[in-house]
Structure 1
Amino acid sequence: MARDLGTAQRFYGAVVGWSYRRTRLGEAFSVAELDRVPVAGIGALAADLAVPVAWTPYFAVDDADAAADRVRERTGTIAVGPVSFASGGRAALVSDPQGAVFGIWEGAVSADWRVGRGQAPAWLELRTRDAFDAAIFYGAVLEWATGRSGCCEVSYEEDRVVLRQGGEPVARLDGGPVERAARDPHARPRWHVHFRVPHLRRAVEEAVALGGRTVSDVTSDATERWVALRDPDGALFTLTAPLGGPAAGGGHAR
């Protein structure tokens, strides 16, 4: 959700190399592509819907209405929908009991496109108070670990829940104290999206030059380096790059 489509397109086009195509949803919405592969959607609807500018993950479900009922039954909140789209499919914008916002989508999903693979976002991360409780909620609502063909596997590792598809990690549910939530929106329960870039330093420099800012130090593990940023409208996201690429540098917590 963005306030101005053109501004968002210019920012993410420069930072992560996306191009864009219009959809049948109207002039306020576009699909971002990388090497002609769809990566994300940007809709200039934040002001109209009175919602914060933010990246929101959408999870595929077989039946959006049934999934929305499961959200309500487990004390989640339905913000919008489910609604039908002229292009096909039904969607709803919802939140879990801790207030983390996500979407559900009933409709066509390409079999060879998903988080963690190819040009798609590299990783989804839920920052919440209790990862185990969150796993119970999402497992029931989204039917994780049901044994269905193509479904996900869930494991509990070092106070976090890891979601895998086909053995590859696609999401992580991190639990822990969120006492700073009242004064720091970055600490509130929320879903966080990680986008891949080939060169972290170059991407961060582009982001800062276009009005974005870093909100964390650069962090690394054995294979990757990443840093959290806000775009010019305030939406939080993370850039991640292979460890062999140039360092970002200059990223300090704010």
Structure 2
Amino acid sequence: MKIAVMGGTGLIGSQVVKILQAAGHDAVPHSQSTGVDLLTGQGLPEALKDAEVVVNLTNSPTFDDASPAFFQTTMDNLLTAAERAGVGHAVILSIVGVDLVPDLAYYRAKVLQEDILKASSVPYSIVRATQFFEFVDAIMSWTADENTVRLPANPVQPMAAADVAQAVADVSMGAPLQGIRNVAGPDVFPLDELGRITLAAHGDQRTVTTDATAGMFAAVPGDALIAKGGAVIAPTSYREWLKR
């Protein structure tokens, strides 16, 4: 199949392209660097010509109140072009529990993205993944100083970006789900404990302080970010990934 991968040069997209190509598909990465801009629609007709599947892995440059407009515009442009090109399957990457966190603007924006896709005439699949191992350091940096990292104790179930890419590729090679597939890591951690494990692995002497008000994840209610029954559980554990 010819598969157009929007955001195909990023962390997840580049790995998805490699997996699809290794499976024998004509997977083509597209991004602003290759002349395709979902915000303006530039390059979309050419990118989607003869494509059977389009995978959208582009992301808002901010997590704030500007993010809904990004997803509204990019999805409208992508789906209009996909309908015209006769694309038979559109796939997006979203977040496990995204609809359970209305206090975060970025999560509301991702729900909007999902809703736009569901309302279109293009057959679709939504892959919802948990937080990436690769982002744990960034999450800690939001509420850290030279001595302390402040984190809430919310439970999280993170997974490796490579496993996310595999899940997206698997769905992209299959029939449209007309629904959602949840994927998650094998272990659940309180976020503050995940911080302690990470600092120890890095030989970082800073202390993690549990703070229910610290950072973006303080707005997450209960176990909203934990995968419920029926989720695909990825193979890579966080401690195994840290050792690599």
RCO higher in 1 or 2 (8 Å CA, sep ≥ 6)?
2
Q: Same fold (TM over 0.5)?
A: no
Looking at secondary structure, tell me which structure has more helix per residue.
2
TM-score by length of 1: 0.30
Normalized per residue, which structure has more strand? 1
